[in-house]
């Protein structure tokens, strides 16, 4: 048996239903993985080592913060010392680090006692390589890293580097994802008073091809790649250290 409601009652119920539907709270988006501090557990020993290095490197004037590309300076110690040694540099690169891993390291406070003149930051390619995080999410993680660095080192000059090219050509999906991140970073750097440096063209040819002579695995610089990087940083670093 079908029940027929009076028109007035049916209309009232429809209004109530519409109001209840409109009153439902919007779903809360999940926290971005790129912003949730967590240790890179596979590099726990490296994290402990860097905390110990920082403890004794009280005179460090120049910090490099990043992932394996930054850690890789340790493979060319003569170049590192020749270019940056007079600044008492401290390499805070950790292989495999993503933005959330850097945030975790900063949250531990192991570097807070340092008083550098300049901090060079490059991070994000592992967010692409490990999970293909959306560019906006990676940029949000980098934004928070800069915010944390400003809070901890208010007197330091911050330099944000564009994520280096990876993959042989401009059509490589991971390079394209990183390039999309890079397009968001100048505004983020400006908001935190950081200098933005895009050194990408120093590593590729005029067509954007990344030679294996520069990055043998098309991701990490080889000795020649680090020489290219050192050359590109020479003038900016000298300027920051004045």
pLDDT tens figures, 127-136: 999 999 999 9
Instruction: Spell out the domain ranges in the chain.
Output: 32-240
Q: Is the pLDDT of residue 25 over 70?
A: no
Q: Is the pLDDT of residue 237 over 70?
A: yes
Q: CA-to-CA distance for 207 and 203, rounded, in angstroms?
A: 11
Which residues share a beta bridge with 91?
A: 64
- With cut-offs at 50, 70 and 90, classify the pLDDT of residue 24: low
Looking at residue 31, its pLDDT comes to: 75
CA separation, residue 172 to residues 85, 103, 178, 200 (Å): 36, 28, 10, 15
Are 122 and 69 spatial neighbours (Cβ–Cβ below 8 Å)?
A: yes
Looking at residue 14, its pLDDT comes to: 47
Report pLDDT digits (tens) over 172-192.
999 999 999 999 999 999 999
| Residues catalogued as catalytic | 68, 217, 220
Q: CA-to-CA distance for 17 and 167, rounded, in angstroms?
A: 54
Provide the strand spans (E) within the chain: 62-66, 89-93, 118-122, 157-161, 195-197
**17, containing H or E segment:** helix 7-23
CATH architecture of the domain covering 32-240: 3-Layer(aba) Sandwich (3.40)
Q: Is the pLDDT of residue 1 over 80?
A: no
Q: Cα–Cα–Cα angle for 129, 148, 111, nearest 5°?
A: 90
Q: CA-to-CA distance for 35 and 24, rounded, in angstroms?
A: 28
């Amino acid at each position: 048996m079908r029940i027929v409601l009076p028109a007035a009652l049916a209309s009232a119920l429809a209004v109530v239903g519409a109001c209840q539907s409109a009153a439902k709270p919007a779903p809360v988006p999940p926290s971005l993985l790129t912003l949730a501090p967590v240790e890179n557990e596979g590099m726990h020993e490296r994290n402990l080592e860097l905390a110990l290095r920082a403890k004794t490197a009280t005179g460090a004037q120049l910090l490099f913060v990043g992932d394996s590309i930054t850690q890789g300076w340790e493979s060319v110690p003569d170049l590192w010392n020749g270019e940056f040694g007079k600044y008492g540099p401290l390499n805070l690169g950790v292989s495999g680090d993503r933005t959330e891993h850097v945030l975790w390291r900063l949250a531990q406070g192991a570097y807070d006692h340092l008083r550098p003149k300049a901090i060079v930051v490059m991070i994000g390619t592992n967010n692409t390589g490990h999970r293909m995080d959306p560019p906006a999410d990676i940029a949000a993680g980098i934004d928070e890293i800069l915010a944390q660095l400003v809070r901890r080192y208010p007197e330091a000059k911050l330099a944000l580097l564009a994520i280096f090219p990876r993959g042989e050509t401009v059509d490589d999906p991971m390079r394209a994802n990183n390039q999309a991140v890079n397009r968001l970073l100048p505004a983020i750097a400006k908001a935190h008073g950081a200098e933005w440096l895009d050194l990408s063209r120093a590593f590729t040819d005029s067509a954007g091809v990344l030679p294996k002579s520069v990055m043998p695995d098309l991701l990490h610089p080889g000795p020649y790649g680090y020489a290219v990087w050192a050359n590109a940083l020479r003038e900016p670093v000298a300027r920051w250290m004045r």
